[in-house]
Homo-oligomer: A and B are copies of this chain.
Amino acid sequence: MSIEEAIQSNQMDLNTKTVINILYTSRILEESGSEILKRFDVTSQQFNVLRILRGQKGKPANLSTVQERMIDKSSNTTRLVDKLIKKGYVKRSICKENRRKVEILITEDGLNLLLEIDPLIENNNTKMLNALSNNQLQTLNDLLDALRNF
């Protein structure tokens, strides 16, 4: 289904259409992922933070580093991390070298949660992208990467 059919609108110029197409497609992917995460009582943002922390491979990350790397750089990473602490998925401590900074570390429970969620999300991603060949996926990535060089 073309984006014009999807949102029942024609007569859009190519730029507008492209922007709307990206926003619209993104929303569909986001909702599909959220539905899976809901079962584990984590939001996409929380999942995103957990994956960033796992990527640190044991090294703690500062709040600001986490925020920089987040897909959705919502403010209040503080409160987002609070939620993860309450659930036991991350630990927080004050950085010894610079006491303004905070160090966040994923716990064993957090890592186990990711191990449980990962295959479901990967599976879902595969399903959602099923209609495109690897070549097409590569092209899509290249175009999006290029787009951001405005």
Contacts and interface: CB of A to CB of B under 8 A. Distances in A.
Interface of A: 1-3, 6-9, 13-30, 33, 51-52, 55, 68-73, 121-122, 125-132, 134, 136-141, 143-150
Given A140-B140, A144-B3, A128 B19 contact: yes
B18 A71 contact: no
A128 B150 contact: yes
Instruction: List the number of copies, as a whole number.
Output: 2
A143 B148 contact: no
Is the contact region of chain A dominated by helix, strand, or loop, or is it mixed?
A: helix
12 contacts: A2-B141, A8-B68, A8-B69, A17-B141, A18-B141, A19-B129, A21-B144, A22-B22, A23-B29, A27-B71, A132-B147, A139-B143
A4 to B, nearest CB: 9
Given A22-B144, A26-B27, 13 more contacts: A14-B134, A14-B137, A18-B129, A19-B29, A19-B128, A20-B71, A21-B140, A21-B145, A22-B29, A128-B147, A130-B150, A136-B146, A140-B147
A6 B3 CA distance: 27
Contact of A145 (B1, B27, B143): B1
Nearest to A136: B143
A16 B25 CA distance: 15
A30 B42 CA distance: 23
